[in-house]
Structures are given as C-alpha cells and as structure tokens.
Amino acid sequence: MEELLASRVRNLNVSGIRKIFNRAASIKDSINLSIGQPDFDVPDPVKEAAIRAIRDGFNRYTMTGGITELQEGIRRQVIDRCGVEPEHLFVTSGVSGGLLLAFMSLVDEGDEVLIPDPFFIVYKVLVEQFGGVPVFYNTYPDFRIREEELESKVTDRTRIIVVNSPQNPTGGCYSEDELKTVAAVASRHRLLVLSDEIYERFTYEGAASSMLRHHPDTVMLSGFTKSMGMPGWRIGYAAGPRAVVEKMETLQQFTFVCAPSPFQKACAETLDVDLDPIIESYRKKRDLVYEGLKDRYRMVKPEGAFYFFIEVPWEGKTGTEFVEAAIKRKLLLVPGGAFSTRDTHFRLSFAASDETLERGIEALNSMAVEGK
C-alpha cells in the first residue's frame, strides 16, 4: 500500500523525541529526562473549572476562533506583555496547531523559511510538508542571534524568519537587542516573523520579551499547555497581522474546527492563576542540574523553558551515540541531531522530580568520567 501514500509523507519518520518517548514505556524504573512536558499537574482551580464546564454541558463546538471571554482575556495579556494590541487573534489547538495553520497559510512551493539552528523539529517538517525550503541560521556555540549570520541567509526566495524564545531545545532567551536585530533584517527584506513563545512564563533571569513588540509583521504563537501543566488539553493562540491571522482562523474551520471547548472555558475562568511558585520551583531544578554537571560538561545555563542543550563530552562521539550509551544505564535523553543539522549535543529536560534529576546527574557524571 505504500505506493498509495502521498510523496510528502513517504519519507516521514517518527521524531527523535517520540522515539525516546516510546522506548521509555519499555524500560522499567527509567531516569526519564527526555520529554518536554511539565511534571506538575494542572492547578486545582483550573481542573475544577474544566470539570464544571463538562458537567454544565459546555462540550459542543465553539466559534472557530474560540469563546469570546478567552479571546478577550488573551488580548489583555498580550497588550500587557507586548505593549501593543494585535490586529487579530484566535484560539488554536495548541501551538503545534498554530504552527500548522501558519505554515499552511504562508508557505508556497520553493519558498525559503529561515529557522534557527538548533530548532524545534516541527518547524523543519512542516515547512517541507508544504513544499518550502528550510534554511538554517547558525546560533552555535552560545545559541545567540548574530545579524551577519541571519542576513547572509536571506535570498529573493525568503519569506519568513522563525524565532523561538524561550527556546526549545536550548533554554535560551533572546535579548531585546537580538529581537531588534531580527526586526531590522525582516524590515529590510519585507519578511514576516513567526515567533513561537509557548515558554514565555518559564523565565529565570527576568521576563522574556516578545517579537511582537519589535516587529508589527509578526505572528506570535503562545498558549497555556506548558505554563499550566496541560499539554494534553491543546489550548494555544495566534496573534498578529489581520491579513494573515484571519486566514489561519479560516483554515482552522476546515482542520481542527475549534480548540477543545471545556478547556477553553476553564482557561478563560482561570487566566490569573498564580504560577509564580511553579516557576520558582523550576528555577531551583535548573540550578540543581547546572551545579551538578558544570564541572564535567560544557553547556549554556538556560534562561528559560526547561531544557539544557549539552555538548557531548566524549571526543569523536555523536549525540546519538552518547544517548544510546545513556539508555543502557536507563537514562533517557534526546540526541541533538533531532534538533539540529549537527549531532554534537544532547537535550536534557529538567521537567522532572528532584529525585529523578539527582539520579540523572549521578548517571551523567559517571558517563563523563567513563568517557575519558
């Protein structure tokens, strides 16, 4: 039956992240530092609001763009954070759903999309699915944006610059100057910026700025799945230029239809839930890992999200080889090649219990010594 498959999916494989996720199920008592989802549960007020919505019968389709009270709550948050009011916004089925709608709306055959390297794997896959060409701008070794590197990748086929801050997989946060650099390049070449800001609440050195503040032709994607521990609820949003975001919303009619209705209601009622204790606990997790590994591993201390992107300490070995060796110790990580054009690092998620993190630190330090 393979001959019946569309050409766009014939060579489509399971992501490196999901491969590790699937392997985790078969490894008893694993030290799982691979998965990018919060280890805390949805806050009780949010759960109760969802249960109430379900019991009250709020289980039917909503408007494609989401219920009014959630849209208005998001609008207030965006204005407060970004200092500008977006021309249009709507509720998406998670940020991944927003990414699909954005690339479907913006990418034609042969269009080039500039993507930071390292990158969240979905960017590359979706660009290719719609006939586009991913072009990677290098941010190694410190995962920062450099104007000359970004400018050098622009051609007459370039249409979009992708920005992700706080970043997956590196945990980096772009500075105001870096975002202004992106805005300057985008303005010179009349490019749209697609800004993935799903980890905006997970910051440890001050609030993360938004690309929307610096470049009006920005489609910003964010949501609640990470900050409220609800990755399975699929509630995100898109905000930005009306001409683009309205088309994305129209496409949602023919794809997702709408985001899950009871969870929209729950988020609308609990937008102001206090997440500061959760963020502080994650700052401590970050510091625990950094202090535990810094003497044996080269890495950049994350400013946001909940990931380390760590250089492999074994000379001549790839991230894939290192991760395979770690799996034999029941330690689950993701090879850097899943997120990059090079395979020199591995991603560690510190969205785990302190006990699991301590076991992981011990295993990694043993591996560093073993490889010398």
Q: What is the CATH number of the domain that holds 288?
A: 3.90.1150.10
Which of 269, 291, 316 represents a domain boundary (last residue)? 269
> Has residue 72 been placed in a domain?
yes
Quote the tokens at residue 178: 């870096």
- Picking from 144, 96, 127, 92, the residue whose alpha carbon sits closest to that of residue 260 is 92
> Has residue 137 been placed in a domain?
yes
> Has residue 359 been placed in a domain?
yes
> Has residue 146 been placed in a domain?
yes
153 shares its domain with 198: yes
How much is the pLDDT for 16? Answer: 58
Give yes or no for a contact between 134 and 115, defined as CB atoms under 8 angstroms apart. Answer: yes
244 shares its domain with 301: no
Distances (CA, A) of 304 to 119, 123, 149, 220, 336: 15, 20, 23, 18, 18
CATH code at position 259: 3.40.640.10
Give the count of domains, the chain.
2
Q: Which amino acid is at 227?
A: S
Residue 155: CB atoms within 10 Å: 11
How much is the pLDDT for 7? Answer: 80
> Has residue 53 been placed in a domain?
no
306 shares its domain with 227: no
How much is the pLDDT for 8? Answer: 81
236 shares its domain with 292: no
Quote the tokens at residue 232: 């399975």
Distance CA 108, CA 330 (A): 43
Range list of H helices, 175-259: 176-189, 242-253
Quote the tokens at residue 30: 């694993």
* H or E, element range at 268: helix 261-269
Residue count of the chain? 372
CA atoms within 13 A on the CB side of 177: 4
Which of 252, 269, 286 represents a domain boundary (last residue)? 269
> Has residue 231 been placed in a domain?
yes
How much is the pLDDT for 14? Answer: 64
166 shares its domain with 304: no
> Has residue 300 been placed in a domain?
yes
Distance CA 198, CA 244 (A): 19
* H or E, element range at 92: strand 88-92
How much is the pLDDT for 352? Answer: 96
262 shares its domain with 321: no
100 shares its domain with 171: yes
Which of 246, 269, 292 represents a domain boundary (last residue)? 269
Give yes or no for a contact between 215 and 183, defined as CB atoms under 8 angstroms apart. Answer: yes
Spans in the chain with pLDDT lower than 70: 14-25, 371-372
Quote the tokens at residue 310: 């760590």
177 shares its domain with 303: no
How much is the pLDDT for 18? Answer: 58
127 shares its domain with 143: yes
Range of the domain at 80: 60-269
262 shares its domain with 284: no
260 shares its domain with 335: no
**Would the pTM of this model clear 0.85, i.e. be above it?**
yes
> Has residue 207 been placed in a domain?
yes
344 shares its domain with 216: no
